Amino acid sequence: MRYPGRRREAAELVGRRVIVRHRLHNHQFSATDVLGTLQAWTPDGARVRRDRGGDVVHITPDDIIVIKEIPERTVTRRDVRDLEAAAAGGWVALEAEWLGGWLLRASGGFTGRGNSCLPLDDPGMPVGQAVEAVEAWYAQRRLPALFQIPEPLGQVLGPQLDARGWSAPFNRTTVMTAVLDDVRQGARDDLPEVRVEDTPDQAWLDAYHYRGGSLPDHAVDVLVNAATVGFASIDEDGERVAVARGAVSTAPSGRCWLGLTAVEVAPGARRRGLGRHVVAGLAAWAAGHGANEAYLQVTESNTAAQATYRRIGFTEHHAYHYRSGSAPQTTL
């Protein structure tokens, strides 16, 4: 879009990949382009994190000639596999077993990620035979056979599941990522401090409603089952107004990630920036544990949450969906 004069449209691009053409002052009538993610749009101008180098460029409104959205960078299969492996280390099942490059997980039925097979690589046997092994593994544990399929890693698997009468894909989820320093910018001096503890207290558990429901008795066992995990809380006037869970894990490539889950703000305290603030507190905590990037998962239909996370620097990385050997479980 051309600029100036279209401030509102430009503000809607925050969190998206853009190209900004702007004037240079060291050469008369010259201009250059900045390619990257629009981190912020204020009356003072645009703040863009470059694709290359990761430095942030501030461009004043008077210098902006054109700003427009461009397609996201290509995410490779290797990138997806690497991040999903890190995410598996951030939400660790109570029982896990490898079948070649497939990770079977069981956690008494609490969460899809904790009770599904994650096909990251070749299972080391014919796919049909591997699916049979997955079905038998979950049957032994009296759990529905379930796959969490990162896209596009499950292309070969799909026809095999179709042939065996598995459900159609459901609960498609978007995985979003951000630079940790950008997430930390959501901290607010005018809001109560964010406390991060190693285990959740009862007030934290009472404030967390997974998919709108209550937690099973063994939920705490799953929540704390990670090498480096933190439970963030914000209290105001004696009430727990915001919570979030963070887990730091390292991908096979060596990249260190903060995984954000269980972000929840009390209904009466929403629209005040508490969600960003509690996430920023976890980002600061994670930086102390070596993380420099963050990821989270948002249901595809939750466009409002996706827009909120874009405003603090998150962009879409890939998606995954579930397939079940029985009737789909809508609470996964």
Would you place residue 231 in the very low, low, confident or very high pLDDT band (cuts 50, 70, 90)? very high
Nearest to residue 232, comparing CAs of 224, 241, 244? 244
Q: Does residue 322 carry a pLDDT above 90?
A: yes
- Name the residue among 183, 330, 326 with its Cα closest to residue 263: 183
The domain boundary, picked from 43, 69, 95, lies at 69
pLDDT at 12 over 90: no
One domain for residues 113 and 14: no
Which pLDDT tens digit goes with each residue over 179-192? 998 899 899 999 99
- Tell me the pLDDT tens digit for each residue of 162-176: 999 999 999 999 999
Q: What is the pLDDT of residues 131-141, one digit of tens each?
A: 999 999 999 99
Residues in Cβ contact with 188 at an 8 Å cutoff, skipping those fewer than 6 apart: 273, 276, 277, 280
Of 121, 141, 172, which marks where a domain is finished? 172
Residue 3 pLDDT > 90 = no
Do 110 and 98 have their domain in common?
yes
Band of residue 4 on the pLDDT scale cut at 50, 70, 90 = very low
Check whether residue 46 and residue 144 sit in a common domain. Answer: no
Position of tokens 């690497």? 82
Residue with tokens 């009770």: 115
Residue 286's SS3 state is helix
Based on the fold, state whether residues 64 and 100 are members of the same structural domain.
no
CATH code, domain carrying 298? 3.40.630.30
265 inside domain: yes
Tell whether 327 is covered by a domain: no
For residue 49, which of 12, 21, 17 has the smallest C-alpha distance? 17
Q: Are 312 and 183 in contact (CB under 8 A)?
A: yes
147, 233: one domain: no
In terms of domains, do 231 and 312 share one? Answer: yes
Angstrom distance (rounded) from CA 330 to CA 211:
9
What's residue 315's pLDDT? 87
pLDDT value for 36: 83
Is residue 330 assigned to a domain?
Answer: no
Q: Note whether residue 191 is domain-resident.
A: yes
- 241 membership: H or E segment, kind and range: strand 239-250
Strand order in 239-250's β-sheet?
95-99, 102-106, 117-119, 146-151, 315-324, 170-179, 293-299, 256-265, 239-250, 228-236, 195-197
Mean local confidence (pLDDT), 30-41 = 84
Residue-by-residue DSSP string for 21-43: EEE-SSSTT-EEEEEEEEEEEET
Residues 206, 227, single domain; the answer is yes
Q: What is the pLDDT of residue 40?
A: 81
- Number of domains the chain contains: 3
CATH of the domain at 39: 2.30.30.520
Residue 331 lies in a domain: no
pLDDT value, residue 121: 95
Higher per-residue confidence, 249 vs 21: 249
Q: Are residues 284 and 183 in the same domain?
A: yes
Domain end, chosen from 39, 69, 99, is at 69
Give 46-100 pLDDT, tens digit per residue.
Answer: 888 887 666 788 998 888 888 888 777 778 999 999 999 999 999 999 999 999 9
Higher pLDDT, 250 or 42: 250
Could you list the residue range(s) of the whole structural domain that residue 83 is in? 77-172
For residue 263 the two structure tokens come to 């972000």
In a domain, 2, yes or no: no
Clarify whether residues 182 and 156 are in a common domain: no
pLDDT confidence tier of residue 126, bands split at 50, 70 and 90: very high
Q: Is residue 91 part of a domain?
A: yes
Instruction: Please check whether residues 11 and 122 belong to one and the same domain.
Output: no
In the predicted structure, residue 199 carries a pLDDT above the cut 60? yes
Residue type (1 letter), 173: T
Q: What's the rounded mean pLDDT across residues 89-115?
A: 97
The per-residue pLDDT for range 283-294, each reduced to its tens digit, is 999 999 999 999
Q: Name the residue type at position 265.
A: V
Question: Alpha-carbon distance 149 to 323, whole Å?
Answer: 8
What pLDDT score was predicted for residue 26? 65
Q: Give yes or no: residues 128 and 21 share one domain.
A: no
The pLDDT value given to residue 228: 98
Q: For 232-272, what is each residue's pLDDT tens digit?
A: 999 999 999 999 999 999 999 999 999 999 999 999 999 89
The CA-CA-CA angle for residues 199, 93, 320, to 5°, reads: 110
pLDDT at 272: 92
Question: Is-contact 25 18, C-beta < 8 A?
Answer: no
Residue 323 in domain: no
Residue 16 sits in the same domain as residue 82: no
